[in-house]
Amino acid sequence: MNDTDFGLADLPLRDDLRGQTPYGAPQLSVDAALNTNENPYPPSPQLAEEIGSAVAEAAAGLNRYPDRDALQLRADLARYLDHGLDRDQVWAANGSNEVLQQILQAFGGPGRKAMGFEPSYSMHPILARGTGTQWVPVPRTAEFAIDVEAAHSAIAVHQPSVVFLTSPNNPTGTALPLETIEEVARIAPGVVVVDEAYAEFRREGTPSALTLLPSHPRLIVTRTMSKAFALAGARLGYLAAHSATVDALQLVRLPYHLSAVTQAVAITALAHADELLGAVKRLRAERDGLVDWLRGHGFAAADSDANFVLFGRFDDRAAVFQGLLEHGVLVREVGPPQWLRVTVGTPEEMTAFRRALLDVTGRS
Ligand SMILES: *Cc1c(COP(=O)(O)O)cnc(C)c1O
């Protein structure tokens, strides 16, 4: 039997997965990869070496299972978050995507609903689908904000077990006012997840939902080391919540889900948080400069509290995407129809992006 005789259609795939597409940001080899919101600055050679030593030490004990509860790592993450949290209120997994999946496994599932405000992170509905949770999208306003009235009625009608609030939002860059988060937390019957993957990039004065945790026991704030920490390859995400939420996640997590290698890498990286986060300031300045430049050249650019900018508007965004790619600049075709998203890279990468964009659109 050769490959072409057998396909997905011949497998006993779940009905709700038929015809669906997997997450798939292109991984292409280009001069400027500005499509997955990675941090363009790698760890220094010294830090890479230190991580290597920690991994070598972990390797000597790989005959044993790792610390199932990742106690040291969680204590270090709690200290990093610095909101009076302790390790019982922090949980970690292989990327915040796994944390989000565990949340849906524990609080979503068949017969339950998860709600999000779109456009937003494409993985939220994909993870809902994978866990058999019905996805309820609610549109954002034209300014990519959440209309509290609309949230109110959608929550009243659907009674979602899980509500996702992404702040700063991907792909728009929009941060939510604390009042919006508080209001949703007040009316939602289940858990409210504030996905703060880009928290470290927010502008001065933009608050974090971490400050709401003591007064809102069903609130969950998720974070990641993939973006600001420049550690996307290590796969480490985490959350802060009431310790009862962390207890709930123990019921669905795989035993020993965080390898000894991952824990060693993350602990070492956290000990050098200052260095790894050193580029955040530069990236924020580069982002603000990019927004100004785009607007100055007649493009629309959404306000951003993240390490990317949503820009437009293009009657044929696919053509602009393709034109940029032909200049060696890979952006992301995501979000509302006339917009594209570009990750903030190095100054050289941003120069290449600006040149290519002017050339492709015929502007100057
Ligand atoms: C990048 C991103 C994540 C992070 O995913 P990891 O699994 O931690 O790499 C989570 N949420 C949003 C909104 C993101 O953009």
pLDDT digits (tens, 9 = 90+) for 286-343: 999 999 999 999 999 999 999 999 999 999 999 999 999 999 999 999 999 999 999 9
CA 304 – CA 322 distance, rounded (Å): 24
Which pLDDT does position 78 carry in this prediction? 98
Expressed as residue numbers, the domain containing 89 is 45-274
* Residue at token pair 């962390």: 246
Q: Are residues 117 and 181 in the same domain?
A: yes
Among 274, 296, 315, residue at a domain's last position: 274
**pLDDT-based confidence at 175, cuts 50/70/90?**
very high
Q: Give the pLDDT mean for 211-221.
A: 98
The verdict on 203 and 163 lying in the same domain is yes
- Test site for ligand 1: of 35, 37, 121, most ligand atoms within 8 A of the Cβ: 121
Whether residue 343 has its Cβ less than 6 Å from ligand 1: no
Please tell me whether residues 313 and 190 are part of one structural domain: no
Instruction: Ligand 1, residue 169: give the atom nearest the CA.
Output: 13
Does the pLDDT value for residue 2 go beyond 80?
A: no
pLDDT at residue 1, rounded to an integer: 57
User: For 165-187, b where at least 16 C-beta lie within 10 A, e where not — what string?
Assistant: bbbbbbbbbbbbeeebbbbbbee
**Does the Cβ of 166 fall within 6 Å of ligand 1?**
yes
Residues 354 and 285 in one domain: yes
Regarding whether 341 and 215 lie in a shared domain, the answer is no
Expressed in angstroms and rounded, the spacing between residue 233 Cα and the centre of ligand 1 is 12
The answer to whether 348 and 31 are in contact (CB under 8 A) is no
Last residue of a domain, one of 274, 294, 314: 274
What average pLDDT does the chain have? 96
Instruction: Out of 13-27, 122-136, 225-239, pick the least confident.
Output: 13-27
Q: Probe ligand 1: pick from 227, 229, 239, 309, max atoms within 8 Å of CB? A: 227
State how far the Cα of 125 lies from the Cα of 136, in Å rounded to an integer. Answer: 8
Q: Rounded CA gap, 292 and 105, in Å?
A: 42
Domain count, the chain: 2
Q: Is ligand 1 within 6 A of the CB of residue 195?
A: yes
- Write out pLDDT tens, residues 7-35: 888 999 999 999 988 887 788 899 999 99
Q: Domain of 302: which CATH number?
A: 3.90.1150.10
Residue 97 beta carbon below 6 angstroms from any ligand 1 atom: yes
C-beta of 40 in contact with ligand 1 (< 6 A) = no
Q: Of 27, 34, 170, which is best to mutate to test ligand 1, by the most ligand atoms within 8 angstroms of its C-beta?
A: 170
User: pTM to 2 decimals?
Assistant: 0.96
